[in-house]
Structure 1
């Protein structure tokens, strides 16, 4: 394998492919190819280490080690058996194989997964007389098999835990956002550090956490470990210390920032406080318990970015059908000069708000189809 021209794939929440492509380009990736729910690219091992450290949008970084055609599970076994697995990791490391498929003709994905696992274990047994152990919960090595109608791809995970896990254990609210989806909302809303930001439904504070860390130039992976640190063929000692040193050197000290969080519920604000404190950011964000319908903007202009409450049960939907028009009126009357970017699984939200939307970006929060609605707020003239 050419160490300067490896193939990688970064899965991401659906809808973030374009902004992830831009982020990867800024980090030095080449041959960037957006696909459904992720982005492929080429580059060196050092680049992939940097992407793990710096990417705010990717879910993980997968290193492609094989690609080919197949017709049966035996084809998968034979081609996997021929790969130099023992060059990449040790037999003492625990293993898990995950399979994803799109239009695969195979009847059982579980059996395809089993054949890949068998091939890896048989390779080690033939080479070293023993096989790696399987751990489906916290494996040290994750192998990913992707199947389409005619081709397979085998990849090794270089991230370990998902990249949306930033090294702290946040307290979750009722409807938590993953950190990379929160970063995607900030990117799609065109927020930049220094621009006043208000989350009027801050919940556990995920959007504010992400904005504060970006403002202080903290690399998202600065306080965690990665799977590539345990891959045998990667030049970790050659590149990783320098990458960490560069990331640490640019971090700014915590300071009050033009970031505000509001919520009607005191327990939600307490979650935000706990999460900010766990990240050493408690003095960076101003928090206030207030009903958004009685709120006022903290400064003349800025970005209001929020994950709106979404009713699943009938009673919740009835309550929100009254709340949304009142929210639209509050935004129009009190937040003129601001731009609202509202994230919701209610695809009819603009009709309920009676506000003019200039952009509707399709996104997914897990399997839930959502939209990010962009609404410039102009007093008295924005009713659709």
Structure 2
């Protein structure tokens, strides 16, 4: 059994566990930002192809305690890199540290790179070149207070890059975070879904792929395909099985809109590139004025906050109007709003039934769930008051 680590947006670790269990992973251990697990290479291949939540999958190749930089150099030197890739391939080394006493992580990174090159020179007389932009092989180091772990990245480009998005808007949502929010909402393809502030269409594209059974990794390549022990036959079988399970593009109950024509055009371009245009009903409109596209369903959205709006005053004016629109036009809907603004529930004047901490990159957010029950709040309040103070009979 090999040892792997799958990273993900913080807050989605339990959802990632579901994907890894489906791939056949064993001995899963959650930590903030990811999950350690055991599995043979087919597990890594399957998870890379099918997980909508993982950001990267790293293969652990070395681990030891250390006291100084030279200890890390010797750990990397003792690691059999030539067994896994060729000296003609380009490399990049990155190091993350947590509570490390070492003064310079850049120097540690350099020492690991030197050790890899020295190991290749010792065995073949050649050494790999460094390419920081598009390396063929990525080496990841993690240094704690007294231990160092070395990984080979099996993913290459982050797994949230599905291979088709070309147009973005300000503060775009990562695809795996969008997929995680869809999972947390409990949405299923037979339930209407609406994103009324769709931006570049990330929620819509993820939902459309789920509705058609499109594996998120079926249209891209991976770093493990460049490793010497890559099993091309097995991989092709997995991809063929995934592609054969896809459903033909058709109209579904997935709806999107945005007040910005630029955002609508970006969404159109991204859906078109992914051959998902027939799956989504897209329109241009202001959430504060449009009607719900169905009697009930799930709304998901990443409303304006901070990075996408110029001032707090604009937010303070927008949020109460948003709350009123949800009350008036979306009775019967469960609404999920992702925001870094902790004032949102108070300003929209709604009480969330759930608050889930999530991270959008380094930005700490909350996913707020608002269950918009059928009937107006005024009618509900009148019923409550009448129950407490019944009119006298006679």
Q: Shorter-chain TM-score: what band? A: over 0.9
The aligned residue for residue 60 of structure 1 is 56
In 1, Cα distance between equivalents of 2:2 and 2:233: 17
In 2, Cα distance between equivalents of 1:225 and 1:144: 19
Structure 1 unmatched ranges of 5 or more: none
Count of paired positions: 378
The aligned residue for residue 333 of structure 2 is 338
Specify which of 338, 348, 364 is matched with residue 359 of structure 2: 364
Bigger Rg, which one: 2
Say which SS state the counterpart of residue 350 (structure 1) adopts.
Answer: helix
Instruction: Tell me the alpha carbon deviations over residues 73-117 of structure 1, each in whole angstroms, 9 at most, x when there is no partner.
Output: 100111111111100000000011000010011111011111111
The aligned residue for residue 345 of structure 2 is 350
In 2, Cα distance between equivalents of 1:195 and 1:173: 27
How far has the Cα of 1:301 moved from its partner? Answer: 0.7
In 2, Cα distance between equivalents of 1:15 and 1:331: 26
Q: TM-score, normalised by structure 1?
A: 0.96
Say which SS state the counterpart of residue 61 (structure 1) adopts.
Answer: strand
In 2, Cα distance between equivalents of 1:261 and 1:316: 26
The aligned residue for residue 155 of structure 1 is 151
Confirm whether residue 260 of structure 1 aligns to residue 255 of structure 2.
yes
How far has the Cα of 1:125 moved from its partner? Answer: 0.4
The aligned residue for residue 237 of structure 2 is 242
The aligned residue for residue 170 of structure 1 is 166
The aligned residue for residue 32 of structure 1 is 28
Query: Greater CA deviation, 96-105 or 13-22?
Result: 13-22
Residues 75 and 238 of structure 1, relative CA distance in 2, 3 Å threshold: same
In 2, Cα distance between equivalents of 1:70 and 1:21: 31
The aligned residue for residue 287 of structure 2 is 292
Specify which of 68, 81, 85 is matched with residue 85 of structure 1: 81
How far has the Cα of 1:356 moved from its partner? Answer: 1.2
Structure 2 unmatched ranges of 5 or more: 382-394
The aligned residue for residue 275 of structure 2 is 280
In 2, Cα distance between equivalents of 1:126 and 1:290: 65
In 1, Cα distance between equivalents of 2:59 and 2:190: 36
Query: Greater CA deviation, 23-32 or 69-78?
Result: 23-32
Instruction: Tell me the alpha carbon deviations over residues 302-337 of structure 1, each in whole angstroms, 9 at most, x when there is no partner.
Output: 001000111359953211211111110111121111
How far has the Cα of 1:141 moved from its partner? Answer: 0.4
The aligned residue for residue 200 of structure 1 is 196
In 2, Cα distance between equivalents of 1:315 and 1:83: 51
Q: CA RMSD in A?
A: 1.3
The aligned residue for residue 101 of structure 1 is 97
Say which SS state the counterpart of residue 246 (structure 2) adopts.
Answer: coil
> Is the CA contact (8 Å cut-off) linking 2:171 and 2:307 kept in structure 1?
no
The aligned residue for residue 388 of structure 2 is none
> Is the CA contact (8 Å cut-off) linking 2:249 and 2:276 kept in structure 1?
yes
Confirm whether residue 14 of structure 1 aligns to residue 10 of structure 2.
yes
In 2, Cα distance between equivalents of 1:155 and 1:84: 12
Instruction: Tell me the alpha carbon deviations over residues 336-374 of structure 1, each in whole angstroms, 9 at most, x when there is no partner.
Output: 110000011111100001111011111111111111000
Say which SS state the counterpart of residue 278 (structure 2) adopts.
Answer: coil
The aligned residue for residue 373 of structure 1 is 368
Query: Greater CA deviation, 24-33 or 367-376?
Result: 24-33
In 1, Cα distance between equivalents of 2:352 and 2:198: 22
Say which SS state the counterpart of residue 283 (structure 1) adopts.
Answer: helix
In 1, Cα distance between equivalents of 2:165 and 2:36: 29
